[in-house]
A and B are shown apart, each in its own frame.
Chain A
Amino acid sequence: MVKVGIPRALWYYKYFPLWESFFKDLGAEIIVSPVTNKNILDQGVKLIVDEACLPVKVFFGHVNYLKDKVDYIFCPRIVSVEKKKFTCPKFMGIPDNLYPNISGFPQIIGPTINLSKNDRDLYKTIWEVGKLFTNNPLKVTLAWQNGLKKLKKFNHTLEEGKIPSQLIKLPNLEGEFLNIAVIGHEYLIYDSYLSMNILAKLTELDLNPLTPQMVSKITIEKELEIIPKRIFWTSAQDLLGSTFYFTKKEDVAGIILVSAFGCGPDAITQSLITHFHKNYAKKPVLLLTIDEHSGEAGITTRLEAFADLIKRKVV
């Protein structure tokens, strides 16, 4: 069986139900790299330019883990997933950075996805990937549609306020708890190593984390009407819109903004959040910046103090 490797990083956290189902239906064996660990991070940091953000560096660590174990590595160049909006420019350049930086590299399945103008070419792209595995166009179309169904179901679970255990395993909340919004890119907050397990740490403090992925696209767009200009990046738009939604929601006690050191879009999102947030809501906001150094004590201190603040208690 043909082995397809999928790095557990970046886009994976958003699209894995679709990807895994699609390749499985086409008859491929899927190998997903493990949850980020120290070794993967160290390899990633070594392989890629200093200027990249931590999640991008980690992506290279995952690719490096997979390279000797698979026939293909799935690494699409995702330029845009919706009209007139784009993804992070650092992500667009990833496929170009793979060959020069990692030696002994297997074949890349690296279709370009660009839906900024229209989605006419999408099915052509899907067929180009599919024909590596089968000559039957119907099989490819069905595999895609089945994958979309899985993705929809997955997104639906999130919108119901539940974090699927395939995404990240969290301890169960027992007894009384307060809701808290954790605003950050999915590849950061659901990666337990990269985020220093912020979500689990919060549940241990009796706080129930709510994430941007739980807010529907329609709500996000409605919330963003107060911004005079269109937001350029899809991810920034989602983070901003969901923050506005959570600030208004009465049963949300506080907001934690999580960002990776050196993230360009986040620098703008966070400024906009602090700017607009002040105007109409009075909820405590905590800013956490994640970097390569493993200063877990600093994160714990801030989360504990934030929990004290939210619960309005001292002893």
Chain B
Amino acid sequence: MNVFLGIDVGSVSSNFVIVDEDLQVLDAIYLRTQGKPLEIIKTGLMQIYTRLSKNQRISGVGTTGSGRQLAALVVGADVVKNEITAHAVAAAHSVPDVHTVLEIGGQDSKIIILEQGIVADFAMNTVCAAGTGSFLDQQAARLGLSIEKFSQLALEATNPVRIAGRCSVFAESDMIHKQQLGHGLPDIVAGLCQALVRNYLNNVGKGKDIREPIIFQGGVAANPGIKVAFEKALNTKIIVPKWFGVMGALGAAILAQETVAKKGESSFRGIELVESQYKTASFDCQGCPNVCEVIELLVDEKLYARWGDKCGKWTDNLQKVKASNN
């Protein structure tokens, strides 16, 4: 039986999803990237392999997320797609008539408007990451709570406090201030959820045609406090899809299936790739005042890929190096 793998290497988490030929999710793995994308890709693949049944064979791989290029090089992906399109594909697959996708991830947030299953408009946070998963993580840690406990707490609130959500640094001082005044923790956490939602709708969602059906996905959708705050602010029902946390990877897996169906074969490197040693190294090119940081990927001590140069000097010369290696 042919199965397809989608990998989403994000800033905070890396996700792996396996779908069958009918695009039903068979397995999903959610791992923290912890700044080590290469190791996480290997760990994720190993876990996937130990959990696959004997008759299942990976016949296509797609990658997405901010680490998509790196992941694609390591696994030999059939398709590399930006996370906006990948998320939209997964959303349209989960709720076929979806109109609005609210997505909040580790360091970015986006809104996608679909019409007949195709992206009609989208927006992503600009230069500021306030109100994304990383901030919630930080605040939970500061209050000494696990993120799971933190997200449940908001539901116990009776009178959410008002917190400025414009900037995460100010939001934090606001929270501390409210604590000192003696407000209860649930009210503060709920206030924070409302602030994030306000910020999201005023920045990313500004001027967008937000209509039902609305789905809420991304890692932060695990937080029921945020979902409730969205429902209150928009005065509608919000759907959180079953695979909300791994929608990017699901989208990549769906795209992998479609790509392989078109081109007939997969470029996936197979299980052997987990046995190779992966290393990255970087150096500053001194060729011009741009001083580009060139990054090299070494597979079993052999130069495999190179990127980061603006002029293409190092990327171009890679073929020669590869030829002399063999």
Contacts and interface: CB of A to CB of B under 8 A. Distances in A.
Contacts of B288: 37
A309 B126 contact: no
Interface stretch (A76-84, A156-164, A213-221, A297-305): A297-305
Contact of B291 (A38, A301, A314): A38
A274 B206 contact: yes
Nearest to B84: A305
13 contacts: A40-B289, A274-B206, A274-B207, A297-B66, A302-B82, A302-B84, A304-B82, A304-B85, A305-B83, A305-B119, A309-B118, A314-B118, A315-B79
B89 A314 contact: yes
Contacts of A314: 85, 89, 118, 255, 258
A315 B126 contact: no
Interface string B50-87: 00000000000000001000000000000101111100
Nearest to A65: B289
B127 interface: yes
A37 to B, nearest CB: 4
A287 interface: yes
Nearest to A309: B119
Contacts of A230: none
Count class of interface residues, chain B: 20 to 34
B66 A315 contact: no
Interface of chain B: mostly helix, strand, loop or mixed: mixed
Q: How large is the interface on A (under 10, 10 to 19, 20 to 34, 35 or more residues)?
A: 20 to 34
A315 B84 contact: no
Interface in A271-306: 274, 278, 284-289, 291, 293, 297-298, 300-302, 304-306
A40 B289 CA distance: 8
A237 B172 CA distance: 40
A288 B288 CA distance: 27
A39 interface: yes
B267 to A, nearest CB: 15
Given A309-B119, A315-B259, A302 B207 contact: no
B120 A309 contact: yes
Given A39-B289, A315-B79, A308 B127 contact: no
A265 to B, nearest CB: 17
Interface string B87-112: 00100000000000000000010000
Interface in B275-320: 288-291
B112 to A, nearest CB: 9
B262 interface: yes
A78 B153 CA distance: 57
A193 interface: yes
Given A38-B291, A314-B85, A314-B255, A305 B123 contact: no
B126 A287 contact: yes
Interface in B190-221: 206-207
A289 B85 contact: no
A249 interface: no
B122 interface: yes
A315 B255 contact: yes
Nearest to A305: B84
Contacts of A304: 81-82, 85
A278 B113 CA distance: 15
Contacts of A302: 82, 84, 124
Interface of A: 34, 37-40, 193, 261, 274, 278, 284-289, 291, 293, 297-298, 300-302, 304-306, 308-309, 312, 314-315
A261 B127 CA distance: 8
B21 interface: no
B121 interface: yes
Contacts of B120: 284, 309
Given A40-B289, A314-B85, A315-B258, 20 more contacts: A37-B288, A38-B291, A193-B290, A274-B206, A286-B123, A298-B124, A301-B84, A301-B124, A302-B84, A302-B124, A304-B82, A305-B82, A308-B84, A309-B120, A309-B121, A314-B89, A314-B118, A314-B255, A315-B259, A315-B262
A291 B127 contact: yes
Contacts of B258: 314-315
A131 B82 CA distance: 57
Nearest to B83: A301
Contacts of B289: 34, 37-40
A301 B124 CA distance: 10
**Closest 7 pairs (CB-CB, A-B):** A305-B84, A39-B289, A289-B126, A304-B82, A37-B289, A309-B119, A301-B82
B315 to A, nearest CB: 14
A289 B120 CA distance: 21
Nearest to A34: B289
A302 B262 CA distance: 26
B82 A308 contact: yes
Interface string B220-260: 00000000000000000000000000000000000100110
Contacts of A291: 127
